[in-house]
Structure 1
């Protein structure tokens, strides 16, 4: 199968132009340029770094709202420190596809970076390819996995922030969008677990030291 880029998932600037290749475990090859709650998955104990991908619904003086590929409504708060990359700030408008990175508190993200995904679809194609299951009240999460799953127990590892957290979230959102990543945990071997909420599946996305998605469950 030919490689299929995840359109518009570029974050440029603060970290320089570095391509992180996230291997789409459904057969697609996902390229991410990096510059810099549902009842079925418990949120982090407190706000932590994460992000989401979706289509902008509305804008205001304080930020905007978006809807992910699985229908999750997300409120994005912007501050004077929020950076817009991939286009001018005015490109963040109704109908635009964006990747948001920042501090996540349930379904609200205080954005540090907003990446405009020109010609993007809000993650719809990638979510479908990965088999992301939208949240349904009362429906249990399936017991299934894709790719390489480490010997992992939820709660282990160290919640991280900064550049590595942003890169791990961007890689995870490129391959498995649709939910909200509400924290990034660095495991003992140096790899990462990106915790995914507001969907029925998957809840854990595993990212290598090279910021490639290797599995999810």
Structure 2
């Protein structure tokens, strides 16, 4: 990658402001900005403090731990001809009604899209929770099943 700096590029070493001249070759940095091909125009450059690590609490970084997957399960009615990725994305009132039904039955997640299936039912794509991932809502906006 090539990093271009602008006159407004901000530099930090850990949580303290610093200057571009305080950064030495070979230091690990996080560059925030806009990309074009293999070039980043930096708006902010953050250097890990010496002796620190990427998971240092001083840097305010919380290490990621991958969760254990659960076994797949289904409840209720899953449309017989359902295949993941099929259907047409819907929006507006229809998507809002399907979302409302799904969240009432399975609170706590985030809906990122609603798809109308070939049988007229809706698949509400649900993220941010371990289960369910797909919630099926019928034409009357009643939850029919989940997987």
How high is the TM-score relative to the length of structure 1? 0.37
Q: Report the alpha carbon displacement of residue 145 of structure 1 after superposing the two structures with TM.
A: 0.8
Partners of 1:142 and 1:165 lie apart in 2 by 29
> 1:140: how far off?
1.1
Per-residue deviation, residues 184-208 of structure 1 (Å, max 9, x unmatched):
0000011000000011110000000
Which digits, 9 at most, give the CA deviation of each residue in 1:73-111, with x for residues without a partner? xxxxxxxxxxxxxxxxxxxxxxxxxxxxxxxxxxxxxxx
Q: What does residue range 84-123 of structure 1 map to in structure 2 within 5 Å? A: none
String of CA shifts for 1:148-194, please: whole Å, max 9, x gaps: 11131110000110110000000000001111011000000110000
Structure ID, larger Rg: 2
- 1:138 deviation in Å? 3.0
Provide the C-alpha distance between the structure 1 equivalents of 2:67 and 2:106, rounded to a whole number of angstroms.
23
Aligned 8 A contact 1:158 1:185 in 2: yes
Please, which runs of 5 or more residues in structure 2 have no aligned partner? 1-64
Match of 2:78 among 131, 146, 149: 149
CA distance in 2, matches of 1:142, 1:159: 28
Gaps of 5+ in 1: 1-135
Pair 1:158–1:144, CA change in 2 (3 A): same
The answer to whether residue 114 in structure 2 is matched with residue 201 in structure 1 is: no
In structure 2, C-alpha distance between the alignment counterparts of 1:139 and 1:202, rounded to whole Å = 15
Equivalent-residue separation in structure 2 for 1:186 and 1:198 (angstroms): 21
Question: What's 1:186 paired with?
Answer: 116
Q: Kindly report structure 1 stretches of 4+ aligned residues shifted beyond 3 Å.
A: none
**Partners in 2 of 1:212 and 1:196 — Cα distance?**
16
- 8 Å contact from structure 1 (residues 159, 184) kept in 2: yes
Q: Compute the displacement of 1:142 (Å).
A: 2.2
Q: Which residue of 1 aligns with 2:9?
A: none
Distance in 2 (alpha carbons) for counterparts of 1:206 and 1:141: 20
Residues 1:173 and 2:99 are matched in the alignment? no
| CA-based RMSD | 1.3
Number of paired residues? Answer: 82
Q: Are 1:210 and 2:140 counterparts? A: yes
Secondary structure, in 3 states, of the residue corresponding to 2:79? Answer: coil
Please report the TM-score for the alignment, with normalisation by the length of structure 2. Answer: 0.53
SS at match of 1:199: coil
